[in-house]
Amino acid sequence: MANGNLNAAREHYQEALKSDQRSRDALLGLAVTALREGRREEAARRYEQMLGLDPRDPDANAGIALLHGAVDPVGHESRLKAVLAERGDNAALHHALGSLLARQHRWGEAQEAFFRAVTLAPQSADYQFNLAVSLDHLGQYTQARIYYRKALGFSAPGSSTFDREAVQSRIAAIDALSP
């Protein structure tokens, strides 16, 4: 999926799922592909299938929190923190928690969660971007600029969820603020 070929990825994961209907990798791949294609209900269904196999699956819990966190932020925050207590080494969980906190404008806490996600998965352009946004909201513009640039450096066309031109514009605006 790194090259943005979602159709080929979806077909690959569907074939894998035909071979093994309990394949975590195939279910996760189909969930992520559906999410990138904007098919949220399909993504949720695949994440729920994963949770049926393992209720503590970190990637499935992170995906569900990203999809439904706005509906029950307190419940999803508690759920994520419980799974993080067992699987604190999972970048997706930290990213999901950061996203949940950011939606509540809890920028300091979101920044901490995004930083942990970046520490665990430093080549994720999306994690770098979300850390930059949280720093930007906290008025830490110099640090935000660093992470916006890292996000651009790690992103490839079609592989990130953010608008590259908007990021470049924000960097220019931050540069204009600097003496």
The tens digit of pLDDT for each residue in 118-136 reads: 999 999 999 999 999 999 9
| DSSP secondary structure letter of residue 6 | H
Give which of 63, 73, 71 is closest to 35, Cα–Cα: 63
Question: How confident is the model over 33-78, as pLDDT tens digits?
Answer: 998 888 989 998 998 898 888 888 888 888 888 887 666 778 888 8
Contact (CB, 8 A) for 83 and 96: no
What are the φ and ψ backbone dihedral angles of 56, each rounded to 5 degrees? Answer: -100, 10
Amino acid at 30: L
pTM of the predicted structure, to 2 decimals: 0.72
- For residue 56, CA distances in Å to 47, 101, 133 come to 11, 21, 29
Lowest mean pLDDT among 23-32, 41-50, 105-114, 152-161: 152-161
Contact 96, 63 (CB under 8 A): yes
What pLDDT shows up at residue 2? 46
Higher-pLDDT residue of 55 and 115 is 115
State the greatest distance between any 2 C-alpha atoms of the chain, in Å, as a whole number: 60
Mean pLDDT of the chain: 89
Q: Which of 89-93, 160-164, 166-170 has the lowest mean pLDDT?
A: 160-164
Contacts by 103-111, CB closer than 8 A, 24 or more apart: 103/69, 103/70, 103/73, 104/73, 105/137, 107/134, 107/137, 107/138, 108/138, 110/134, 111/135, 111/138
Structure tokens at 93: 């969980």
Between CA 137 and CA 68 the distance in angstroms is: 23
pLDDT score for 1:
47
Binned at pLDDT 50, 70 and 90, residue 98 comes out as very high
Q: Highest mean pLDDT: which of 83-87, 140-144, 156-160, 161-165?
A: 140-144
Q: Which pLDDT does position 59 carry in this prediction?
A: 87
Question: Contacts by 173-179 with C-beta closer than 8 Å and gap 24+?
Answer: 174/136, 174/141, 174/142, 174/144, 174/145, 174/148, 175/145, 177/141, 178/141, 178/142
Query: What pLDDT is attached to residue 3?
Result: 44
Domains and CATH numbers, the chain: 1-54 (1.25.40.10), 56-177 (1.25.40.10)
What's the confidence (pLDDT) of residue 70?
A: 61
